[in-house]
Structures are given as C-alpha cells and as structure tokens.
Structure 1
Amino acid sequence: MGRKSNGAVVFAFETCALDLIQATYEPRESPVDCDVVIAVPDSGMVVSLGYVTESGVPFKQGLIWSHYVGRMFILPTQTIRDLGVKLKLASVKAMIEGKRVMVIDDSIKRGKTSLKIVRLLKEAGTTEIHMRISSPAIIGSCYYGVDTPSSKELISNRMDVEKFRNYIGCDSLAFLSIDSLRKFTGEDAPGFCNAYFSVHYSVMPKEESR
C-alpha cells in the first residue's frame, strides 16, 4: 500500500510498482519475526499477499477452507457456527509444523473462529502464532443494513487486545489502528462511517432493538 503526492491511496503487489508511479510506500504496522505467513482464506488472502511481497517472508497455504460452507458470523446460533467451523476449516501440517507463523485475517467479530484457528495451528505443531488483523477492532454493531452480531457479542467490545490474545492463546495479536485507517482513506475519511470501530453513530441506535 502506498500514497501519491495528491493523497491518493495505491495498492500494488510489488513496491517497485509504487516507484514507477511516484508513490511512497506506507509502512506496515506491528511487524514481528516469523518464518511463514498464512491467510485465513479467503478473507485474509489479499492482505497476506501484500504483506509477504513487502516483508520477504514466504507465504504458505497453511489453512484450507471448504467453499461449500457459508460465512460463520451470520449463522443463527453458536452451536451451528461451531459445527460450520469444523466442517469448513483444516490446517496443512506440512506447511507450518515447527514454524513461527503469522496469521492474517480481515476482521474478527465474536472471536470463536480465531480461537479454533489458533487451536488448529497448535495441533499442527507451530512454535509461535502471531495474528494480524487488517481492520481496526470491531467494537460496535452495524445498524444500517449489514447483518452483524450485537455489540455485546463482539469480542473486542468486551476485551482489550491483551485479554483477547490470552483468550485465544496466540503469542501476539494486533489490529490496524483506526488512525491508520483514516490516514489511508485521506480527505474522504469524514464521509465514511466508522461506527464499527468507534461506536460514533451518525444516528444513535437503540441497542435493545438488536
């Protein structure tokens, strides 16, 4: 990810491409020493590819999803969501055994899938697990048409990052900061809704209606 002199945000697979269009690379947040980078498919794939291109850390397909199971966070009960994760997710031991692994995903809602991912990776023999999330922590529900959990169900609404890290059992956990999100969106930022991350709603909701 880079930025041009006019403030435009640019995404590129190679940092040399930023040089060609006279864009400046925007450094990543929360770096950590690791042996491989894996994505939570498919949501973390694009960010993972960008990270490995800039960092030089190899990408491995350490997790495999079944594409015949739908999105977990919109399923109606936790029992069904747990079953869905078991049916949908598998680790690839040969890719990650004995490795320090960085796991990248786009967001975390309830945290149950993250908990199971860490457990799977430990069972596969990883030596360290570092989770990086390419959005700020989601602490507020969406009341404008997106089907999301109520605020009280959102893990980051109830736990700070360190408590959350301890809960899922990984070695480190970091989210994109909301300041960086605003920086990347530039002058358009005031027009974007960030209530997911800030709970600053344009129209105050009635929580009990969720």
Structure 2
Amino acid sequence: MYLYGEKGRGILKKRNLAIGVAAGVAAASVVGASLIIYKKLSKKKKTIDKLDSGTITKVISMNYPTYESLEEVVKESKIAIKGEIVDKFVKEIQVGAYGNGEAISHLYTVSKVKVLKSLKGSLNEEEMVYVKQLGDGSRVIANNFDSEDYFKIGEQYYMFLDSNEKDSEVMPYSCLNPQQGALKIEDNKIIGIDIHTLKRKFYNEVSAEEFEEEVKKYV
C-alpha cells in the first residue's frame, strides 16, 4: 500500500515510529527476561555453593515420646543422674542402617558429663558418661530443639537416660526426650517445670532436694 503527499508521509512516519517503539519494547523485554533468568541462575548457584560449603542448615524431623508424669519418666529411664557438663564436641554417629546396608548417620553434639549424684541405675559419683543430642545447633538441628536446649559446659542437669549400651564413649546415651529428659539446675532449683508432669510451668520453682525426694518415690 502506497501513501502519497504530506499526510501520507506523516502516517508512514507514525507507523515507523510505532514499529520502532514496539521493537524497542520487545528488545527490552528480552533483555529483562534474560536478566531475570540470570539472577535466578545466579541465586541458584549461590545456594548450591552454600550447600557445598556446608552453610545450609539441615532440619531433621524426629518423633520423641512424651510422658504424662514424673513417675512415667523415672520408670522409662534406665539411668537417672544429676550431672555437670565438663566437655562437649560434635561428632557424626552411625545409629543404624537401611535395608540395603547403607549406614544411617547423623551429626550429634556429644557432652561429657560428670556424675554428681546417681538417682537410678549403676553409675557412680565422679564417673564420666557421654550423652548425645541430635544436631549441632547450626548446620544440623532437630525439630523441637532450640539452641538453648543444647548442654553448656559448667552447667548442671538432671538427666533421664535411655540406653542399654555398656560404653557410652563408643555409643553415647540419649535423654528420653529433649524437654522432660533433661532438666537444667539453676541456683539449686529447677525453674519453669511442673514437678509432677515435668512439663513447662512458667514462674514455678522446685528445689533440687524436693525434686530428688520425688524421684526416689518411683525408683
């Protein structure tokens, strides 16, 4: 189609302008899309790099048993002690195997515990025992676990342990569960725990002596 005269040239200019704008928009869209794809790929690469460097946090889901009373906790535990944390380290421990023989291993925080008092079981005072907690609190964490739940050197705890292992250094013992199986002692008291259920009870305090007397009822 041909257009003549000034009017025709004006229309042609407008069409050329429209085509130029459309082409520019299309080119910008392609560039924009390319930038988005590049950013996504770069982000993905950074994530992979982080994963490769071990900075990604892995969450392990575990189902822990819960108990309705102190009596249940005492009776279910093989060992009950008052202990002090003297050392700790992170270690990968094999805890089982899949059907094809592949090892099941997890990262654990292992604490060396000095027995201050034996409430149940065959451990003696001054004896050392090793207790493991799933994860290291940074690279690997377990559900229902807070960083404050990991034992700290110098602190004391009442621990209710479940293990048939003879050597806790080779295979560290485990608490019955993260909340009821390990109770922190502060100023010779247990704070924020109901003595009868071992469940959270804010502003509640129980003296160490009272707690130990209660435990003795069920041993």
TM range, normalised to the smaller chain? under 0.3
Give the strand-richer structure, 1 or 2: 2
Structure with max Cα Rg: 2
* TM-score, structure 1 normalization: 0.21
Give TM-score scaled by structure 2 length: 0.20
